[in-house]
């Protein structure tokens, strides 16, 4: 048995998220189905990030164990031939014994894309959230800088299991405009469930002028989920990179 590391890209529009669910289309389910078809063995995959329903990934990493004799490149081609067109394995490399895609990850990077124009865009709606009122990206950037560092992010997301902590460390947080697009990018050691969407939803209130950047920081410090209930929709979110 070998341990493998797979770099995976997907369009999450038609999936119920990464994690396997009985009878529903998920990224994990499709990857495991393709692995079983190619290798003849039931194979469990572990993803570095558990993306929600409708969220995309350009840099998801999964690990799995396989007894196959195929080279990584042959296995990649065989998997891509079986996977639906909205999921692809971009690269496969051998991983050290005991490598675990989730526990070994040093950080994750997510990018959120907002299409900020009075008119919706038929060419952007799958990968961007359309928000028609003008957003002040500089105020959003000022606000999101207060995320940097080690904080209790309870205002912006939920713990993943009952006894987990809501403390995380954000290494980088940026917001900027390029034409009609506004981007929010955050790199952290790990994310709470729905944390990125909670952050962006509240940043949008700052961008509209409904909150000041200081209010954003107060919401963070309050550690109260009820203060940040504007959850940005999933289609703007993309898991862009995992660092090991």
Kindly list the residues in this chain that would bind its own copies in the complex (CB under 8 A). Answer: 9-11, 56, 58, 76, 80, 85-91, 119-123, 125-127, 238
Question: Considering beta carbons, is residue 41 or 121 the nearer one to its own copies?
Answer: 121
Name the residues annotated as catalytic: 52
Q: How far is the CB of 205 from its own copies (least distance, A)?
A: 24
Q: How far is the CB of 151 from its own copies (least distance, A)?
A: 31
Q: Which of 21, 61, 63, 18 is nearest to 234 (CA)?
A: 18
Question: Considering beta carbons, is residue 45 or 203 the nearer one to its own copies?
Answer: 45
Q: Are 59 and 241 in contact (CB under 8 A)?
A: yes
Q: How far is the CB of 61 from its own copies (least distance, A)?
A: 15
Question: Considering beta carbons, is residue 44 or 120 the nearer one to its own copies?
Answer: 120
Q: How far is the CB of 126 from its own copies (least distance, A)?
A: 8
DSSP per position, 105-161: -SEEEEEEEEE-SSS--TTTTTTSEE--S---HHHHHHHHHTT-EEEE-TTT-B-SS
Q: Are 6 and 61 in contact (CB under 8 A)?
A: yes
Question: Considering beta carbons, is residue 1 or 118 the nearer one to its own copies?
Answer: 118
Q: What is the DSSP letter of 14?
A: G
Q: Which of 143, 66, 50 is nearest to 101 (CA)?
A: 50
Q: Using alpha carbons, list the distances in angstroms from residue 97 to 1, 94, 165.
A: 10, 9, 28
Question: Cα 171–173–174 angle (5° rounding)?
Answer: 145
Q: Are 241 and 105 in contact (CB under 8 A)?
A: no
| Residues ≥6 apart with Cβ < 8 Å to 224 | 154, 155
User: Dihedrals φ, ψ of 234, to 5°?
Assistant: -70, -30
Q: What is the DSSP letter of 104?
A: T
Question: Considering beta carbons, is residue 8 or 95 the nearer one to its own copies?
Answer: 8
Q: How far is the CB of 68 from its own copies (least distance, A)?
A: 19
Q: How far is the CB of 145 from its own copies (least distance, A)?
A: 28
How far is residue 116 CA from its own chain's centroid? Answer: 21
């Amino acid at each position: 048995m070998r341990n493998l590391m797979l770099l995976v890209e997907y369009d999450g529009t038609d999936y119920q998220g990464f994690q396997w669910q009985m009878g529903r289309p998920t990224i994990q389910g499709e990857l495991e189905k393709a692995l079983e078809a190619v290798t003849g063995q039931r194979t469990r995959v572990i993803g570095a990030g558990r993306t929600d329903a409708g969220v995309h990934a350009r840099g998801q990493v999964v690990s799995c164990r396989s007894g196959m004799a195929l080279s990584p490149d042959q296995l990649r081609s065989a998997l891509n031939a079986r996977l639906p067109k909205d999921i692809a394995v971009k690269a496969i490399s051998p991983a050290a014994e005991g490598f675990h895609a989730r526990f070994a990850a040093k950080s994750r990077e997510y990018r959120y894309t907002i299409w900020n124009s009075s008119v919706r865009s038929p060419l952007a709606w799958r990968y961007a959230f359309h928000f028609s009122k003008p957003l002040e990206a500089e105020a959003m950037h000022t606000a999101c800088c207060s995320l940097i560092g080690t904080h209790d992010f309870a205002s912006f997301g939920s713990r993943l299991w009952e006894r987990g902590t809501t403390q995380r460390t954000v290494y980088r947080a940026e917001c900027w405009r390029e034409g009609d697009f506004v981007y929010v990018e955050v790199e952290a050691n790990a994310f709470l469930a729905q944390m990125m969407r909670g952050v962006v939803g509240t940043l949008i209130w700052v961008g509209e002028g409904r909150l000041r950047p200081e209010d954003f920081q107060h919401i963070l410090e309050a550690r109260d989920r009820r203060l940040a209930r504007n959850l940005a929709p999933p289609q703007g979110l993309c898991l862009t990179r995992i660092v090991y």
